[in-house]
Structure 1
Amino acid sequence: MGQAFYVAGTGTDIGKTFFSSLFMAKYAKNHGFRYWKPIQTGLTGPSDTEFVQKTTALPDSFFLKPVYEFVAPASPHYAAKQEGKILDPKYLLNAIAKERKTNTLIEGAGGVFVPWTADYIAIKGIQESNLPVVVVGSTELGTINHTLLTLDVLTNRFIPILGFYLVGPKNELQTDNAETIQRLGGTPCLGVTNFPEQKLSPNDFISFANESFDTNRNVMESLLGPDDEG
């Protein structure tokens, strides 16, 4: 039996799509995981789905199409309003429920308090989806505060957290950041991966992911059931 999980960021452009690309590059083929971003905004440029697919060179079968797509690079509630469209949380949650027992990485839009509609925020949708969460934060200055806040609100709503993962530029703070968040947040650090120093081809990115992502297999082990093979 599969297990979908939700990738939540501590903010916008924090590294969720980079994390998702790493995960898909390393595990998609061996474990049958698919990538899905149900709400996509900012279609003035390449979508996150297109980015992950281009980065990993995985075929179409490893990707689900977004339920909602909007042009404006803004929160879903604003982007939908600009286009005169309606985002229905119930419809979206029904779509997510159908994938709950499949191996699917579900990437969220922005941070956990981003409004899907004028009166419905992302964290409510995460809670009602009943999916376990990986929180993605930055390696850089400010991540302790942002990540602890995100972990705290998820915990207070009894949302299952698999752990947190830091991504971003390599810096002298990142080890202490990870240790401090783990100690104060009471949530395991699943790993830290720095951005590659240069743009990589899909083959090179797959090699990079295999070498640099989830080196202790903490992410994958948190997803595997007792009857699953590593």
Structure 2
Amino acid sequence: MIRMGQAFYVAGTGTDIGKTFFSCLFMAKYAESYGFRYWKPIQTGLSGMSDTELVQKTVDLSDSHFLKPVYEFLTPASPHYASKQEGKILDPKFLLSLITKERKTNTLIEGAGGVFVPWTEDYLAIKGIQESNLPVVVIGSTELGTINHTLLTLDVLTARFIPVLGFYLVGPKNELQSDNAEIIQKLGGAPCLGVTNFPEQKLPPTGFITFANEHFDTHRNVIDTVLNPDDEL
């Protein structure tokens, strides 16, 4: 059991890359044993189920394991565009003040889209990541194209001295994924924390928890680096 809390930021190499799937896996395996909570501060595209609702439905955890989004928009678009379309103001300073309050708690903070998504017309997500001073886990795809996308994301994070714990690949099983992980680790300056493929069928919460326990973070790379980030940075 951990001695003190540590929030961390889940950044993706793009939109719909698998951040929420990773979050489901992490919460299914570690939420109850380590007291982790899930938080997606900015949520767009609320015409359907939100990511918070999806995670909670997938892993069947109580409300105490979830923080509500700070900004929610119906428009399926970048936060800067969605907020403008809906006549709402997104205030990065206010958002960062709330994130700061959670820094020493066990909280998985999922970002919106990739690291260069604009929160406002003059404020990029990567600036928010940098100013939050949270350690980052980068989520990439197992598929073709992930080498370029993941290396680009790692490069822009490390160039800004943002603490990167490592990267994790998720997606369909394919013959490229092992080499993808190896070459990104070799060239990207960050460790591969693991690879997990999508389950072959939709699973009920009990089945998903079993799947996560068996197929996610099998060597405890993610949880150990999250709980002891200073050892890795």
Q: TM-score range by the shorter chain?
A: over 0.9
Query: Partner letter of residue 218 of structure 2?
Result: T
Q: Where does residue 217 of structure 1 map in the other structure?
A: 220
State which of 86, 95, 98 in structure 1 corresponds to 2:98.
Answer: 95
Q: Where does residue 121 of structure 2 map in the other structure?
A: 118
Give the 3-state SS of the residue equivalent to 1:108 in structure 2.
strand
Query: Partner letter of residue 179 of structure 1?
Result: E
Query: Partner letter of residue 61 of structure 2?
Result: L
Q: Does 1:157 align with 2:156?
A: no
State which of 194, 202, 205 in structure 2 corresponds to 1:199.
Answer: 202
State which of 117, 138, 141 in structure 1 corresponds to 2:144.
Answer: 141
1:186 shift after superposition: 1.5
Query: Partner letter of residue 58 of structure 1?
Result: L
Instruction: State TM-score, norm by structure 1.
Output: 0.98
Q: Where does residue 130 of structure 1 map in the other structure?
A: 133
- CA distance in structure 2 between the aligned counterparts of 1:176 and 1:225, rounded to whole angstroms: 28
Q: Where does residue 186 of structure 1 map in the other structure?
A: 189
- CA distance in structure 1 between the aligned counterparts of 2:17 and 2:192, rounded to whole angstroms: 16
1:225 shift after superposition: 3.3
Q: Does 1:208 align with 2:211?
A: yes
- CA distance in structure 1 between the aligned counterparts of 2:19 and 2:77, rounded to whole angstroms: 16
Map residues 52-71 of structure 1 onto 2, 5 A cutoff. 52-71=55-74
Structure 1 residue runs of 4 or more that deviate by more than 4 Å after TM superposition: none
**Cα deviation digits, residues 71-109 of structure 1 (max 9, x gap):** 000000000000000000000000000000000000000
- CA distance in structure 1 between the aligned counterparts of 2:48 and 2:39, rounded to whole angstroms: 18
**Cα deviation digits, residues 168-220 of structure 1 (max 9, x gap):** 00000000000000000011000000000000000000000000000000000
Q: Does 1:75 align with 2:78?
A: yes
Q: Where does residue 175 of structure 1 map in the other structure?
A: 178
- CA distance in structure 2 between the aligned counterparts of 1:221 and 1:59, rounded to whole angstroms: 24
Query: Partner letter of residue 22 of structure 1?
Result: L
State which of 18, 21, 46 in structure 2 corresponds to 1:18.
Answer: 21
- CA distance in structure 2 between the aligned counterparts of 1:110 and 1:216, rounded to whole angstroms: 27
- CA distance in structure 2 between the aligned counterparts of 1:214 and 1:20, rounded to whole angstroms: 12
**Cα deviation digits, residues 41-90 of structure 1 (max 9, x gap):** 00000000000000000010000000000000000000000000000000
Query: Partner letter of residue 141 of structure 1?
Result: L
Please list every run of 5 or more consecutive structure 1 residues that lacks an aligned counterpart in the other structure.
Answer: none
**Cα deviation digits, residues 127-184 of structure 1 (max 9, x gap):** 0000000000000000000000000000000000000000000000000000000000
Instruction: State TM-score, norm by structure 2.
Output: 0.96
Give the 3-state SS of the residue equivalent to 2:179 in structure 1.
helix
- CA distance in structure 2 between the aligned counterparts of 1:194 and 1:225, rounded to whole angstroms: 26
Query: Partner letter of residue 196 of structure 1?
Result: P
Distance 1:225 1:184, change over 3 A: closer
Give the 3-state SS of the residue equivalent to 1:128 in structure 2.
helix
- CA distance in structure 1 between the aligned counterparts of 2:45 and 2:62, rounded to whole angstroms: 23
Query: Partner letter of residue 191 of structure 1?
Result: G
**Cα deviation digits, residues 14-59 of structure 1 (max 9, x gap):** 0000000000000000000000000000000000000000000001
Q: Percent identity?
A: 83
CA RMSD of aligned residues (A): 0.7
- CA distance in structure 2 between the aligned counterparts of 1:172 and 1:223, rounded to whole angstroms: 29
